[in-house]
Amino acid sequence: MQKEFSSFGDSADIKLNANVTDSETTSIAGHYHVVCRDKDGNIKWEEEFPNLVVAVGKQLMLDTLLKGSSYTVVGPYLGLISGSGNTFAAADTMTSHAGWTEFINYTVGGSAVRGTAVFGSATSSGLTPSNVTTSSASAITYTITGGGGTVGGCFLVTGPGASSTQNNTSGTLYSAGAFATAKVTTAGDTVSVTYSTTATS
């Protein structure tokens, strides 16, 4: 008796190691442009300065855009910051911002309220290597009243509950920023503020 055993087999071992990274980063920066004129319209001072977009402001932005919940824009309202030596922290909120206080000796359109920032449609420029998208609000004019005082910077509040009422702590603080040097104002001065924000990737 003859027994024959045959064994056939194919083996293929394929490995693909890929370490390809395509990362895109986006930075968002905002700027306040402020011009102060005296009662006769003469420029007393002018300054542009960056802002800090605080943590709750970033959360509101991403939740609104990406989470998909129903949302109506409230404001945004732009207020002035009082005094000098102001400090800002990522943890600042409308109810808790130990490094600064609100300046309230002004009117907007004859009423003692924060100005409403009205943004135009965003525009983009450039595709490679970077893209820059910008949105700017129309200038808001604050007329200084009472004894005037020292203006140290600006802030922006929005989100549900936000209010144009001065010293109101409702809503979500979006950003805040300070002059390099605080500015003195007197009654009758006008302070014009333009806020713009830019996303760069």
- Given a contact cutoff of 8 angstroms between Cβ atoms, the answer to whether 85 and 179 are in contact is no
Instruction: Specify the amino acid at residue 100.
Output: W
Can you give the pTM of this predicted structure? 0.81
Indicate if the pLDDT at residue 193 is higher than 80.
yes
Tell me the per-residue pLDDT of 67-103, one tens digit each, with 9 for 90 and over.
666 667 788 999 999 999 999 999 999 999 999 999 9
Q: Are 29 and 21 in contact (CB under 8 A)?
A: no
Query: Hunting for tokens 């300054």 — which residue is that?
Result: 47
- Please, are residues 80 and 142 in contact by the beta-carbon 8 Å criterion? yes
Residue 170 has pLDDT above 80, yes or no: yes
